[in-house]
Amino acid sequence: MNLSISARAADLLRGAIDATAEKNGWVRPQRFTPDQLRALGSVRAWHPGLFRSMSACTSGVTLEFATDASFVSVELRVDAPSKGAQAVLDDVRRHAGASDEPLDGVSVDVDGRHLPLMLPDENDLVTFALDDPAAAPEPGLVRLPLPGLGEPHRVRVWLPCLSSCAVREVRADGTYLEPVPARGQLLVLGDSIAQGFVAGDPGRSWTARLADHLGLDLLNQGVGGQVFQPGSLSGLAAAARPEAIVVEFGENYRYEVCQASRVGREILAYLYEVSEAWPDVPTWVLTPLPHSEDVYPTNPRSCAGEVEGLIAAAVRRHPQMRLVDGAALLDAERLPELLADGSDHPGREGQRMLAERLSFVIDATAVAPEQRRTIALAIARRAGDVALPVTEALRRGLGEVLLADKGAVVVGFPGGETLMWASAPAALRRALTCIGSRGVACVCGDRRAAREVVRAVGGTAHACHLVTWRGDAPERDAARDVRVLTSAYAGVIREHYSHPEYLAPGELEELLDAGAFLGGFEDGRIVGFVGEHADGSMGMLEVFEGSRRRGWGTELAAAQVARTLEAGNVPWAAVWPDNEASLALERSMGFEVAPADGLWYVS
């Protein structure tokens, strides 16, 4: 094997910001700018020593080149894992049992074909064949082409996730070995889960798989132990020009004593820095992934339980950011199988699932939110009356479109509710498996659609009547005193509303601030109210004891219908089949009541 041609490894690096020169031609790839390294090692960092060692690792860094060679050899010196990485590796050994199988090393993609994990030999060399054994004329026969007559190959060598390393030279037996044109860039900002703990293969981590799915080069800035640290992006905007960004932080708050007020400020500041650096780049921000409490229970003085809400609130401030439900990216019931260390870090199957589901979410939400809304609205309109609730929400600009597919549309709301329509139930189940739905799901469609939602997110499906108003505005009693309610009436509504459990925390206040409630008054005293849910449906009609059977229910419903029509919208409501009083009122007023077989609530 005559490896007669060579190239400097430094000229083939991808996923590195820079490379530090060492003696005798060796170079050490760097994933971070000098300013970032100073920030990671500063007093503002939670664990500066850990962050310095983790930032030196070569996670996501590759050597990428084209060649007509049959064999390639890479000069590579791999350092021992840091203490932080070794601790997780020890957890994996204890969880999975003793094994000599390496959990990190070097892997190679040749023309999209993945080679098994490798380690440098005693001469600091990783050597591998490029030709596909499946293409050999017969098993075990190795083709030895004449110089210049070899097949062209595109090669990507993945450097270790959990260790730092130095590279020097790449040698081959062909006639050329040259860099390939750079692709767009996927920037991943995160902690040890982003860094690659413990994928078992750097080329099969979820970040590597996601970058490959998107057709982008990877810049992985995962740092073991990291949290949202303002200032840690210093200098990166000038060095990175990503086409997509993924932010994955939050898991490490559960190990520490922390205050939600401070963590909330840091999340706001960090995401503001991301937005300022790349204001037009679509950015997906994950909430914390599922974990197990068995090995490392959450610190009782941690604010971890509030982190998801803090992230969601911060993401809503930036139009280019999309919130991703991290809890949906791994199956909670399969965590012992998916978490390699029995605690937080996905193993091989967990990495695959995470990458597959996140790829689906990114594909579904890649276009701008308003463009998704336009597409979803056209789909829902074609579906007709069965999708009226979805059509109305989209037309009014309510919620966020999470999926706009010809067979399914999903709209999400801040309180966790999802409103959806499907003509292809399997597509809906697939979407919800990846997108997640931990609140109430309102399903427009037949029983099959409701059944698929239950299979995806659990719970029970309950049939509802879809009640709509199709005529002109109903007659009103001008003598009645009906007013828009302010947040001062939040306590009154909670006291008298029959189903306060339907309201997510903070939802009532948001609805009142938006003017969603009308109240009826007699002699300056409130006697009843009616409102509009976050999805645009009428509801929450209550008349207080002592004021019933005096026409207030009809008057409040009529006032809400008139206001909805005046805004150019179609009044609609979902009514349980056993709510005979409401159904009688609505039929007497002239509402259309559809059979309870096309609208379902899953909870």
pLDDT tens digit sequence for 554-584: 999 999 999 999 999 999 999 999 999 999 9
Confidence band, pLDDT 50/70/90 cuts, at residue 94? confident
Please tell me the predicted confidence (pLDDT) of residue 75.
97
> Which long-range contacts (C-beta less than 8 Å, at least 24 apart) are formed by 86-91?
88/162, 88/192, 88/197, 88/198, 88/224, 88/341, 88/345, 89/162, 89/198, 91/295, 91/341, 91/342, 91/343
State mean pLDDT over 203-210. Answer: 98
**Phi and psi (nearest 5°) for 566?**
-60, -30
Do residues 432 and 425 touch, judged by C-beta distance below 8 A? no
Confidence band, pLDDT 50/70/90 cuts, at residue 146? low
State mean pLDDT over 347-351. Answer: 96
Please tell me the predicted confidence (pLDDT) of residue 437.
78
Does residue 203 register a pLDDT over 90? yes
Kindly list the structural domains of the chain, giving each domain's residue range(s) and its CATH number in brackets, ordered by start: 5-365 (3.40.50.1110), 369-463 (no CATH), 481-569 (3.40.630.30)
Please tell me the predicted confidence (pLDDT) of residue 142.
52
Instruction: Round the average pLDDT of the chain to a whole number and report it.
Output: 93
Do residues 63 and 156 touch, judged by C-beta distance below 8 A? yes
Omega before 180 cis (within 30°)? no
What is the C-alpha to C-alpha distance for residues 147 and 129, in angstroms, rounded to an integer? 16
Positive or negative torsion for Cα 387, 392, 394, 400 = negative
- Please list, in sequence order, all residues whose beta carbon lies within 8 angstroms of the beta carbon of residue 305, skipping any fewer than 6 positions away: none
Closest listed residue to residue 291, CA positions, set 253, 337, 335: 335
Please tell me the predicted confidence (pLDDT) of residue 87.
87
Report the DSSP beta bridge partners of residue 441: 418, 602
Please tell me the predicted confidence (pLDDT) of residue 371.
94
Please tell me the predicted confidence (pLDDT) of residue 414.
80
Confidence band, pLDDT 50/70/90 cuts, at residue 106? very high
In Å, what is the CA distance from 449 to each residue of 418, 436, 446, 456, 576?
14, 16, 6, 11, 18
Closest listed residue to residue 14, CA positions, set 186, 233, 238: 186
What is the C-alpha to C-alpha distance for residues 123 and 128, in angstroms, rounded to an integer? 14
Q: What is the pLDDT of residues 50-74, one digit of tens each?
A: 999 999 999 999 999 999 999 999 9
- Please list, in sequence order, all residues whose beta carbon lies within 8 angstroms of the beta carbon of residue 290, skipping any fewer than 6 positions away: 326, 327, 330, 332, 335
Does residue 136 register a pLDDT over 80? no
What is the C-alpha to C-alpha distance for residues 565 and 471, in angstroms, rounded to an integer? 9
Confidence band, pLDDT 50/70/90 cuts, at residue 150? low
The H or E element containing residue 500 is none
Look at residue 162 and give its three-state secondary structure.
coil
Does residue 499 register a pLDDT over 90? no
In Å, what is the CA distance from 258 to each residue of 43, 300, 303, 479?
16, 10, 6, 56
Confidence band, pLDDT 50/70/90 cuts, at residue 474? very high
Please tell me the predicted confidence (pLDDT) of residue 528.
97
Please tell me the predicted confidence (pLDDT) of residue 577.
95
Percent of the chain whose pLDDT exceeds 70: 97
Does residue 141 register a pLDDT over 60? no
State mean pLDDT over 247-256. Answer: 96
Please tell me the predicted confidence (pLDDT) of residue 172.
95
What is the C-alpha to C-alpha distance for residues 211 and 185, in angstroms, rounded to an integer? 8
Confidence band, pLDDT 50/70/90 cuts, at residue 99? low
Tokens in use for 128? 């591998």
Positive or negative torsion for Cα 23, 50, 189, 334 = positive
Please tell me the predicted confidence (pLDDT) of residue 128.
95
Q: What is the pLDDT of residues 411-469, one digit of tens each?
A: 998 877 899 999 988 888 999 999 887 778 999 999 999 999 999 888 999 999 999 99
Q: Provide the whole-model pTM.
A: 0.89
Greater confidence (101 vs 330) lies with 330
State mean pLDDT over 495-508. Answer: 86
Beta strands in 313-372 (DSSP E): 321-324
Report the DSSP beta bridge partners of residue 127: 73
Please tell me the predicted confidence (pLDDT) of residue 416.
79
Confidence band, pLDDT 50/70/90 cuts, at residue 98? low
What is the C-alpha to C-alpha distance for residues 568 and 573, in angstroms, rounded to an integer? 16
- Burial of 416 by CB count in 10 Å (0-12 exposed, 13-18 middle, 19+ buried)? middle
Counting runs of H as helices and runs of E as strands, what totals does the chain give? 18, 29
- Please list, in sequence order, all residues whose beta carbon lies within 8 angstroms of the beta carbon of residue 139, skipping any fewer than 6 positions away: 133
Please tell me the predicted confidence (pLDDT) of residue 82.
86
Closest listed residue to residue 447, CA positions, set 427, 462, 428: 462
Do residues 338 and 291 touch, judged by C-beta distance below 8 A? no
